[in-house]
Amino acid sequence: MYTITGKEKGVTDFTTVLTNPSVENMKGLAKRGKVKTETKNVKVIEDGSGHILEEKEMDFPVLGFDGHYYSDNAHYVKLFRGVENDMKELSSASLQVLFYMISNLKMRSDSVSVDAKGLAAELKYSSSRSIYDGLFGLLKKEFIYKKTGRDGEYFINVNKLFRGNRLTLLGEEIKPTK
């Protein structure tokens, strides 16, 4: 088990590891059932009852070491490739507002609310000016867009970050990309 003692004073004081300790303690995985494959048609079968839990077409199922199909139920946010270049140029205030937005982003949602006064108090700023400076930086780098008619409401740029599957935003009709 990987532990931090609190006595570390520099990078070299931390323990080195041979394998990634976060993988063996991965949180949010749920065992779904045994997998039965017939070409690309994958069936997830409940242990014991044999009931088909899920059936879908996939190139390869996500199998655990025990032959079961697992789903990842942990909360996550996708940061898309290329966003790191824009993040390097964000101010400290912009990064704090962005991380606040990421932690408050609802699954499959493309918008988030920011109460500048409340967030300033939470971050222990003496005024909301730094929050507005942070929002300005995020707007300038197109991480967010101001939502019409609603103060404190912003659309997120789903090409930079998103929580969930972006296809859900398209509704029933999936438009081909060019």
- Residue 139 in this model has a pLDDT that exceeds 60: yes
- Residue 88 in this model has a pLDDT that exceeds 70: yes
What's residue 153's pLDDT?
92
What's residue 97's pLDDT?
96
What's residue 155's pLDDT?
92
- Residue 122 in this model has a pLDDT that exceeds 80: yes
What's residue 116's pLDDT?
96
Buried b (16+ CB within 10 A) or exposed e, 71-97: eeeeeeeeeeeebeebeeebeebbebb
The pLDDT of 128-146, averaged and rounded, is 95
Label residue 41 by pLDDT band (50, 70, 90): low
- Tell me what the pLDDT averaged over the chain comes to: 78
Contact 100, 89 (CB under 8 A): no
> Residue 98: which residues within 8 A CB-CB, separation 6 or more?
87, 90, 134, 138, 143
Q: Are strands 68-72 and 78-79 parallel, antiparallel or unpaired?
A: unpaired
The pLDDT of 124-140, averaged and rounded, is 95
- Residue 175 in this model has a pLDDT that exceeds 50: no
